Amino acid sequence: MGFRTFHLALGALTACLVSLAEVPAFESSVLPILQSNCIECHGEKVRMKDLDVGAYDRLMRGSESGPVVVPGKPDESRLYQLIREGKMPAGKPRLSEKETGAIRAWIEGGALPSGAGKKVEAAALNQHDVIPVMLLRCTACHGPRRQDGGLDLHTRAGMLRGGKSGPAMLPGNSAGSLMMRKMQSGDMPPKKGLLDAGVKPVTPAEMEKIARWIDAGAPEGNVRPDVASTESDPLVSDKDRQFWAFQPPRAAKPPKVAHTSRVKNPIDAFVLKKLEDKGLTLSAEADRLTLIRRAYFDLTGLPPEPSEALAFQANPDPLAYEKLIDRLLASPRYGERWGRFWLDLAGYADSTGGKLSADTIRPFAWRYRDYVIRSFNSDKPYNRFLLEQIAGDELENYEIAPVVTPELMDNLIATGFLAMGPDSTNEREVNFVDDRLDVIADEVDILGASVMGLTMKCARCHSHKYDPIPQRDYYRLLDVFKGAYDEHDWVPPLTAEKYGRTFSGRYLPYVTPLATPFQLMQEQRARELQAAEARVRTAALQEELKQKAEAATKRVFEQRLAELPKELHEDLRKMFTTAADQRTEPQKELAKKYESRLRVSPRELRRVDAAYAKEADEVDRQVKAFAAQSPDPKIHALWDRGEPSPTYVLRRGSPTNFGQLVGPGVPSVLTDGKTPFVVKPPWPGAPKTGRRLAFAQWLVRPDHPLTARVMVNRIWKEHFGTGIVTTMANFGKAGAAPTHPELLDWLAVEFVVQGWSVKAMQRLMMTSGAYRQDSKIDSIHEEKDPDNALLSRMSLRRMSAEVLNDTMLLVSGRLDEARYGAPAPVQVRGDGLVTPVEAGKGWRRSIYVQQRRSNIPTILDNFDFPAMTPNCVDRVDSTVATQALHLMNNGMVDDMADSFAGRVKQEAGSDPKQQVEKLYWMALSRPPDDEERKLSLEGLAKLSLGRLCHTMLNSAAFLYID
């Protein structure tokens, strides 16, 4: 505080001096300071933060965040602030007091171009100063989708053309322009309609700007969207591009190592080299029982049956292990384990989440879940997988396809990838432009963090602090998605009937692939029948409720009447049953005095009559349930709608503070900076921009610096416990350096060579010697490789939430392996415990349980199932008391333990010794050791077999995978 006061005083003093002395001239006194200190980063060639201080007009244009010089006000000028605080020039000595003083004095003196004389002209306006205001305030009702009064204000031509009341804008005459008059009088945008339209009132500053533009003759200006060109990019330098992660991966030759006998494939050469450099080697190979358990969990998320483990242990085939891996990769359970891996990244959920707590169910999201599971099972090449998910709607013309093929349907379902994030914009209170931008920002984060290994969210408000991602690049990326996500032409996530209107949601129809017209007709007929039945039952329910409401209303009326003087009862009843316009004068008097006390609205009825409220809630629930078995199968999808709004850089991320107009593009640092981003319609005459398709094709280029690296690193982490780059979602400068850079690149190149096959990568990793090591830690490990960064052993891993839950179900014989389809519902107990509902043989695998963001099954929640806000790029393993409490005390775990005991008894009979053996094999895929056997038998003398099984489900041996 003291410093500040002092400084202000000093400032005032300087100001006095300046007014007496001469104001420094820009060319001779200020520009030289800027040229020798700032131009290196903020010049014509390198223009960090989009700021160029090399000439007067360019300096006055400002940076990506707006003007940096406010004439006459040095303390509000970013240029002066940062220099004064010593924050600029970055990494260099502070400017001298004399230099700082000169800049201050120049700004104070009006920031004129040279010496005294010319004033700073307000920048000339063009249509792009006005159109974004129209998009924010007007085009919801007077735009391309909807032209109330025949008016479309989203272009200059539209303003001139006007609507039913004549032209909206008269160039050179703001006072006579209808749109100006409507805004100034406060009639437009209409106050009562703001919320429905998702519009906030136009501000005085905006009106002033529009008026200025009109008065200047409404110039169009010659502004082209900023896109990559063949000229080198001033915002990102070639030096920036040198960072390892921004260079295409290049496969190194596997190094020569001493322990050649341990090399099972090239992975081991890379790993051994690092180990040998430290005087280490790979640990011994784990025994077969450990290996089979490890491989089963890694590929199927479930343990082997005892018979399988025994057979593998005894198998003399030298390739038995390799064959095991192949068999597991072909298991239908594989997609359920690995689909989950991808669903974390996509932020999959069966509900909307977002800013309101309704957390409405997304009834068709599960088709995307099934698509992911099937894609993993069929080993869909990763490049194809990404193309479908990012631009499936632009791959083939689905609207006029002669036959609906499974591929066509898959393409559309796949687009759910970038439609899974939290989004409650189906509610009008949170459906303003900034709410929509939040939804888009989440999807960009999902894309960046999961597929590109870049944290992009910083660049929404300003250029990235660590990585060379200018704010411009973020908005170029938003423009890529504009055809599908246009904050000024919004599709809400759900279909809803609200406020007397119907909103159609982000759905496309689902058509059974390859069905004949007759089959489709039959399906349609069945759906109509179902819908008709639902209608009939809904109507019956509502009728029943209406009668109950009438009875309840009578009850409440009588109660209220009883509180009033008895002598009035008769008259009040008469008054109440007489229509208002038929009442006599005395009745009118009575009504004035008592009617509101006696009348009870339906809303109030629920509040005052608990019994009725309960019945009404139940009817609501049933009606909703009928509505939810929607007769029309749909896809939760994303698709290009053709003619998106223009995209402007939003300074500091604020939708009202728009800067430069940009076009579609990819992060410059991932290109050579001299290649335009070419977009063309996906097929001739397509009503689509083709931007996402162009983006996806760029993303899956074989030499893309990040796509393959990021994916192999993720696969690696699932198998080895940590990534080669440990910051899974950040390959940028603030991320961790790879522990084995050559290995990472070798794998990335191999991934592409092997046709982007995920299974091929897994086969490679899992058949390596590195993967087959045991997990024992000895003193040399603790000394030389304490955190296992060098892979001197296998890491001990805890079961994930789903693996734990599914394994308990399997072991207890309660797992219902029904695959695909609508999710199993969950129930919420009075105390808040959430459990899946039992059905069929027992419970379904966790991946098939409804994932409503607000009601995650408690056991999954306790064991670190991630909150999808918006997605999860790296799960955390916690060890907290609530986990212990759950496994020790939860009733469902008790039940599973009993079922487990039943299975043990069935297989082992009543002999305790046999029981203990069987129990170990079933739960741990191995026999007990002598000590465990002895303790378990002693335990069995005191405890029931069920409780011994319960102990096993609680044990560390069960929870941790060696």
Cα–Cα nearest to 480, from 327, 698, 318: 698
Cα–Cα nearest to 897, from 850, 837, 840, 958: 958
Which residues 459-498 are close enough to bind other proteins by CB under 8 A?
461, 465-466
Q: How far is CA 620 from CA 21, 31, 552, 628, 805, in A?
A: 79, 72, 17, 12, 33
Residue from 22, 885, 909, 913 binding other proteins (CB under 8 A): 885
**Beta carbon nearer to other proteins, 177 or 722:** 722
Q: Does 119 bind other proteins (CB under 8 A)?
A: no
- From the number of C-beta atoms within 10 Å of its C-beta (0-12, 13-18, 19+), residue 239 rates as exposed
CB 543, min distance to other proteins, A: 28
- From the number of C-beta atoms within 10 Å of its C-beta (0-12, 13-18, 19+), residue 150 rates as exposed
**Residues of 292-306 as b/e, b for ≥16 C-beta within 10 angstroms?**
bbbbbbbbbbbbbeb
Binding mask 571-610 for other proteins (x = CB under 8 A): -------------------------xx-------------
Residue from 356, 561, 564, 568 binding other proteins (CB under 8 A): 356
Binding mask 48-87 for other proteins (x = CB under 8 A): ----------------------------------------
CB 255, min distance to other proteins, A: 24
The two tokens of residue 227 are: 């896109």
Q: Does 886 bind other proteins (CB under 8 A)?
A: yes
**Beta carbon nearer to other proteins, 112 or 893:** 893
Residue from 699, 729, 770, 896 binding other proteins (CB under 8 A): 729
CA distance 618 to 360: 17
CB 919, min distance to other proteins, A: 12
**Beta carbon nearer to other proteins, 117 or 832:** 832
**Beta carbon nearer to other proteins, 729 or 810:** 729
CA distance 64 to 48: 9
Displacement of CA 855 from its chain's centroid (Å): 18
Q: Does 832 bind other proteins (CB under 8 A)?
A: yes
How many CB atoms within 10 Å of residue 166? 10
Q: Does 538 bind other proteins (CB under 8 A)?
A: no
Q: Please give the angle made by the CA atoms of 848, 416 and 371, to the nearest 5 degrees.
A: 50
Q: Does 838 bind other proteins (CB under 8 A)?
A: no
Q: Does 833 bind other proteins (CB under 8 A)?
A: yes
Q: Does 769 bind other proteins (CB under 8 A)?
A: no
- From the number of C-beta atoms within 10 Å of its C-beta (0-12, 13-18, 19+), residue 224 rates as exposed
The two tokens of residue 45 are: 């060639």
Q: Does 311 bind other proteins (CB under 8 A)?
A: no
**Beta carbon nearer to other proteins, 190 or 255:** 190
Q: Does 455 bind other proteins (CB under 8 A)?
A: yes
**Beta carbon nearer to other proteins, 413 or 868:** 868
Q: Does 959 bind other proteins (CB under 8 A)?
A: yes
Which residues 777-816 are close enough to bind other proteins by CB under 8 A?
777-778, 781-782, 786-789, 795-796, 798
CB 942, min distance to other proteins, A: 5
Q: Name the one range near other proteins by CB under 8 A: 84-92, 547-555, 810-818, 889-897.
A: 889-897
Cβ atoms of 753 and 745 closer than 8 Å: no
Cα–Cα nearest to 361, from 827, 836, 853: 853
CB 796, min distance to other proteins, A: 5
CB 791, min distance to other proteins, A: 12
Q: Does 881 bind other proteins (CB under 8 A)?
A: yes
CB 866, min distance to other proteins, A: 10
CB 318, min distance to other proteins, A: 29
Strands 826-828, 960-961: parallel, antiparallel or unpaired by DSSP?
A: unpaired
CB 194, min distance to other proteins, A: 6
Which residues 911-950 are close enough to bind other proteins by CB under 8 A?
929, 931-932, 935-936, 938-939, 942-943, 947-948, 950
CB 513, min distance to other proteins, A: 37
Q: What is the dihedral of CA 391, 394, 395, 397, to 10 degrees?
A: 150
Cis peptide before 870 (omega within 30 of 0): yes
Handedness of CA 654, 660, 663, 669 (dihedral sign): negative
CA distance 502 to 487: 19
Q: Please give the angle made by the CA atoms of 442, 448 and 454, to the nearest 5 degrees.
A: 125
Mind giving me the DSSP string for 358-391?
A: T--B-TTTHHHHHHHHHHHHTT--HHHHHHHHHH
Residue from 194, 227, 619, 822 binding other proteins (CB under 8 A): 194
For residue 811, the number of C-alpha atoms closer than 13 Å in the C-beta half-sphere is 31
CB 101, min distance to other proteins, A: 27
Which residues 211-230 are close enough to bind other proteins by CB under 8 A?
none
**Beta carbon nearer to other proteins, 685 or 830:** 830
- Longest Cα separation, the chain: 110
Q: Name the one range near other proteins by CB under 8 A: 188-196, 251-259, 518-526, 744-752.
A: 188-196
Residue from 378, 512, 878, 906 binding other proteins (CB under 8 A): 878
Cβ atoms of 53 and 136 closer than 8 Å: no
Binding mask 411-450 for other proteins (x = CB under 8 A): -----------x------xx-------x----------x-
566: Cβ contacts below 8 Å, ≥ 6 apart: none
